Amino acid sequence: MKVVRAKFAGACYGVQRALDLALRSVADGQGAHTLGPLIHNPQVVQKLADQGVTEISSIDEVSAGSSVVIRSHGVTPQVMRSVEATGSPVVDATCPHVSRAQRAAAQLAQQHGTVVVVGEAGHPEVEGLVACALERTDRVYAVTSADQLPADIQAPVGIVVQTTQQREALDSVVAALRGRGIEPEVRNTICFATSQRQGAAADLASEVDALVVIGGRNSSNTTRLADICKERCSRTYHIESVDEIDPAWFAGAETVGITAGASTPEDQIDAVQRRLEQL
């Protein structure tokens, strides 16, 4: 059985930067907390905890003398102000692409008064984008498709996008607004690394008999990769760790593909590849 890895797969710059910042924050022996999971990868979050970077759900849980690491998905401006008010050292590990999207949301709100965030309502990144816009207007809408647009939306409209969204979702929303006679100002804040991984995964899924997608089930970009692959390869399996692999999945398969979400480090991908090559 031949095992083929996607041309682009695994941890992106923003994730690696967040991991480096988090580990650096405990290098001097001081404790550190992440407000929510640093990245959406349970195995990595546990490994960080073993090294002294523990996850908390509220700023009330911050230990005296510990740093607070802001997760890669970012936080709302209100939460950031609350963290800073504790007096604890703050390590901002927000992905630079997310920070750019937050600035765009605020600018569009200021300029147009109505903002559409193309992204999954309730996702930490989207919550941050919405909150940045809400500081300047009360007309902010998070949608994942054109049919979620409010019927009474009026120009002028600005659009910002969750960094891990597919371009097709953005295009459908823009087309729907144009169909209503509204020409929105679009800030395409989809991360290039996300587009690379989605394109490479789609290409690979069209060429293999089975495919394994590695990454947290709580990771939206990994889940989206799995959906993209399933559209092209029915034998697509989303796993979080090598221990989940079932040899029966690959019966009769001559080629098996591997891809991984942007929150999946290289060692997890290598472990899966070694296991598949042993089958």
Instruction: State the catalytic residues.
Output: 125
Partners of residue 91 on adjacent β-strands: 69
| Cis amide prior to 42 (ω within 30 degrees) | no
Side-chain half-sphere CA neighbours of 135 within 13 A: 15
- Which pair of tokens denotes residue 235? 């034998």
Partners of residue 118 on adjacent β-strands: 143, 161
Nearest to 167 by CA among 195, 129, 193, 207: 195
Cβ atoms of 261 and 72 within 8 Å: the answer is no
Tally the residues of the chain: 279
Q: How far apart are CA 5 and CA 17, in angstroms?
A: 23
The distance in angstroms from the start CA to the end CA of the chain is 8
| Cis amide prior to 156 (ω within 30 degrees) | yes
CA-angle at 124, arms to 122 and 129, nearest 5°: 90
3-state helix, strand, coil in the chain (%, to 5): 45, 20, 40
